[in-house]
Structure 1
């Protein structure tokens, strides 16, 4: 099984130096009934250029973890580092794409992307900025829709705008919080293909939340599976063995695909299934003093812009054997 599972792609990834490091991270929120521990003792090392998906039940701290990578939130204990530097605030080296797009409705598609470019590259002349915006809209197939407002385009097109805006500032880490969850199946698959193409061309490091196991197996190098909250942690990490570039039809015909899929399903719905007791099925709390956190952001003008986008939106509304050679157990 070992020779079957260890592909050249996986080996190449493991040889790279650690790029993003999450070490002994815990997050505790005060509540009227006492402290609520969302995350407890999370450890993860991500290689440069790696595509990592995070999966788990609601309330297990997935978004909290990605918010700490983006710099919008801070761990109670432990550290999150990018290139050995502690992440203390948002910055243009990390860009987040939200499920609800976070576009300014009074600006058109082109202006939404230009706002980010103009904030991050104040030293570039106007023509250089225009060129960057045009290139990235073309990359996601939105040149002809560039003058339309967000309410004039589809959900899939809005998500393309959000991805173009994130990539236009040339981040080192692209952070995706279930970006395709609200889209129909056909649009979802189209954007998955586009995301992989962009990732291959730019060799970004990607951290992505998903609730879709099939999506994770198609996109990721590794699948990080979270235990249930409260006090959630990383339970296991699956190495995805399929070589790149990936063909969806070929992958789904591979016996290993169903072996991994069934193992992930067993992890989520048997070993870490939701409790039938509603009192034990917790929901991840929102961070307190969010306005103060946003007001204190000084890690680049684009970070302020993105916090503004998020704030605006908030006002609107086992069949068999375990694939042991693909699993990293986290104690």
Structure 2
């Protein structure tokens, strides 16, 4: 028999079901763009059909991400009821038809996979992986989002998937370097770890740890200290893999590294603020400081993508400074 709370909820309308797809999170697909730029800069493929592939590729990414959001919000409705802001979500506050929710999920997934099949090849394979990642993250028996640290690692895998989709839109004949994918993955883990840290600090201070763990089980295995340390580890790993990629594939990118480090620092600083945008990455464009830092970093990377600096090649050669060249050396 339905509970009194269920009976009191209003019946959802069509537009309420569409909000489950979270079209306001479309900004997250910005992580596709570096894949487009790097594939062109490093591979110099023919761009004859690139505009069509890019448009359809973005539609695929949006459709599959929307399918993942639908299943996420539906399966999280009982947990989101304990969150200070997410309890306003339609799946929590309105009475939804399970059948319609699953039809919506299948519709978005179907559109995404049909268009991905038209793109063909590896793009189709990674579109399936993108959809499967949402099931691993949200659905029992795995439901990785309930497991500390694994929740961050499994959620951030969407970053290298998006990068790969962008790369394959421009050059379907090759794959991005593994070092770049690992840098993107661990960089994404840093972003998700910062989000967890911000949530832990804010929600624990407001309503206590017990309520926080009702919202998400993985928080039972976290402390503020472990989250800070994990963010440091993710950032260091991302920097290491990024360094490997920079030296191996385009040494000019080394000059952008200070700006990239500044971007990491800016985001971690934001996550420390009360009610941080780190808790809502789709709103990151509202931070002028972050957008200014990102704009400068992207601009530097764009310039370095097409600027050849022959003198930097010495960084990849083994060399040692003779001791007799140092000041004060006695011959």
Q: Highest relative contact order (Cα 8 Å, sep 6+), 1 or 2?
A: 1
TM-score (norm 1): 0.25
Question: Normalising to structure 2: TM-score of the pair?
Answer: 0.25
The structure that is helix-richer by fraction is 2
Q: Which has the higher strand share?
A: 1
**Largest Rg, 1 or 2:** 2
